[in-house]
Amino acid sequence: MFVLSILLLIAAIVLFFVGRGREGGGLKIGAVLSAVAAVLAGVFSCVHVVSAYEVGVPVTFGKIGKPMTSGVQFESPFTDVTSFSTRPVDLDLYDKDVVEVRSAQGGVLYADVTIKWAVIPARAVELYRLAGSEEAVQERLVLPDSREIIRNVFAKHTSEEGYASAREKISTEIATLIKARLAPRGIDVTNVNLRNVKPSDKLQDQIDKKIQQEQDTERAVEAARTAKAESERRRIEAEGIARANEILAKSLSDKVLYNQCLEAYKEAAKAHPVYAVPCGTGAKGTPVIVDGSKN
C-alpha cells in the first residue's frame, strides 16, 4: 500500500508539471486526484488491523516492537506485523503421528496423546524470536518438546505400568513437565490427554505368555493348597479314630465283657429256652450261650 501511495504521488507530480504548460484543466484535475489517492494510500499503509483472538508482533527495519492487541493500530508504513492466534490449538499425536516409546524394560509401546495449547499474548515477542510464525510454533516448539518429554517419562516406568497400572500417574507427569517446559517460551498448555497406550505386537505376545504363566502358577498353588487341606483332614480323622479305639480298648475289661455276655443271655432267654455254659471260671471265663431247643 505504501508503494502504491508513492507511485500515485509521483504520478500526481508528473501530471501537475505536464498540465501546467498546457491549456485545459484535465491534467491538473488528474494530478489533484492522484495526490489525494496518494495521501489516502499513505494513511491506509500506516493502519494495521489485528483481528479478535490474535496478537501482533511489529517489526520495523529488523527491530521488534511491543505486542499489538486486537483492534486498529497505527504503525509506520515500513512496519511488518506478524499475527499469532490466541485461540486454543489441539495437537493430536495419533495414527501416523503416534509417539513410539520404550519402557524401562525395553518394551515398545505406542502412545496416543492430545495436547491443547495456546499462545500467551504477553509473550508473543519471545515466540516470534524462537519460531518466527504461528505455523512454526507447533512444528518447532510444541511437537518436538512434547515427544521428547513423553519418551522420557515412559522410559522411567515398566511396560505393565505404561499400558495399565500407572497410566494416570504417567499422564499427570507428562502434563506437568510439558507445561513447565513450554510456559517460559510463551505457550500455555491447558490440557494433556493420554488417550491410549498400545503395546507392540512383540510386547503383546510377551504379555500374553506372562499372563498364561501366572494363571498356571495360580492353578498349581490352588491344587497344592487343596491337596494339603485334604491330607490334613485325613490325618485329623485318622487321629480321631485311633483315639476312639484306644479309649474303647481301655474301657472293655474282662468284667465288662462278662456282664455284656450275661445281658445277652438274658435277652435271648426271653424268646428261646437257652442256657449258658461258662468257658472257664473266674473273671477271664467266656460264657457260651447254647440253644436248648436243639439236641
For residue range 47-92, list pLDDT tens digits in order. Answer: 677 778 788 888 888 788 888 877 777 666 777 888 888 889 999 9
| pTM for this prediction | 0.58
- The C-alpha cell 492466534 sits at 85
For residue range 98-141, list pLDDT tens digits in order. Answer: 999 988 888 888 999 999 999 998 888 888 888 888 888 989 99
* pLDDT greater than 80 at residue 226: yes
For residue range 132-141, list pLDDT tens digits in order. Answer: 888 889 899 9
